[in-house]
Amino acid sequence: MNVFFVRDCVNPDDAVYIDGQWYCTLGSCYAAACGEVTVPENLSEPCFDCEDDGTNCIEFGGVTDETSALSQAVHFTLFVGSLSSQCGEGLIAYASACYIDDITDRPLAGFMNICPFGLNLDRERLLSTVQHEIFHALGFSHSLYALYRDEDGNPLTPREANGYPPVDPVSGLFLWSSRVIQELTLDWDYVGGTTQRTVQALVTPNIVREARAHFGCPTLMGLEIEDGGGAGTALAHFEKRIMATESMNGYLTPTRVFSRMTLALMEDTGWYIPDYEMADIMNWGKDLGCDFVQKSCKNWIDQKTNAGLSIAPWCNVPFETTCHAEGVDVAYCSFYQYFNGVPTIYQDMNQMYNALFEALVT
């Protein structure tokens, strides 16, 4: 598939269209870009720089015969950079699609930026991060949800007269339909009472099938997505509470896996056919039932404690060690002190451990 990148005129108002070709009448063309990464000259369409009357046109750059032949076998192009301009505190990497197919909306190209700090990660964590970001560029992104299609190639989100989904005037993102993400209401226990909590969940058919099978919850309506973190984390990852060791949650952890649910979401884009045999086995949450995936950590902890059972995968003994959920490392029970108070819905422990924690670390 030929995918070559358009280069705009320095001043778009001075572009003219002559015999099926756009020409820049003043100055030259900008270099094509994919996100923050400059596209190489040999992957860009040629630039035609002309006089104001459209004469004396000079062609600059453009695709070579070699890259044209190579592009026939390429289905997706990924541009990679390591720039610090958008790297805030704690940000390791980010990625997005930058060029989509006019007919199917499938991403044809994307970019990934690994923040300079991220290059200091050990090999396994860096590899996991790169894989994670590639999935974002391929389709696991809130900028692409509204472009997903069903198995017959029909858009899951209705299109407007211009052929695109409606746009959120605040975020600038396409608005997805309830066939992709729905708002679910969960009964939620916390220290001091019970409330109802509203979450966003992926409800596409393959993700629902795989989530039901994994958690052992046949009535699960959708797989919850992350509501915490900044704009680059919320809504663009699986919820960490229920997918703590999955590579597509929003937080870097020592041991991560790409489960069948990640591959299911790729299938639900309508653009890919995954090989589920290549999925990693994920033990976190496996066959723990509807209460684990649909209710709070406190509900789970209380149920198991009252029944005299282990509260795993949760813990309540600071620094207690055990086998990691994925069986490849030693895990320990970590507690953190919050000086500004823990939000009500996240208050899961009936006892306060601040004093104990302070005693252990002093």
pTM beyond 0.85, yes or no: yes
Going across the sheet that includes 193-202, the strands are: 181-190, 193-202, 223-224
Marked catalytic residue, from 41, 133, 160, 277: 133
Distance CA 115, CA 160 (A): 37
pLDDT by residue for the chain (362 residues), tens only, comes to 556 777 777 777 777 777 776 677 666 677 778 888 888 877 777 777 776 666 777 776 665 666 565 566 788 999 999 998 888 877 899 999 999 999 999 999 999 999 998 888 888 889 999 999 999 999 999 999 999 999 999 999 999 999 999 999 998 899 999 999 999 999 999 988 999 999 999 999 999 999 999 999 999 999 999 998 877 889 999 999 999 999 999 988 777 799 999 999 999 999 999 999 999 999 999 999 999 999 999 999 999 999 999 999 998 888 889 888 887 788 888 877 777 778 888 888 776 554 333 333 33
133 included as an active-site residue: yes
Question: What residues form the annotated binding site?
Answer: 132, 136, 237
Question: What residues form the annotated binding site for Zn(2+)?
Answer: 132, 136, 237
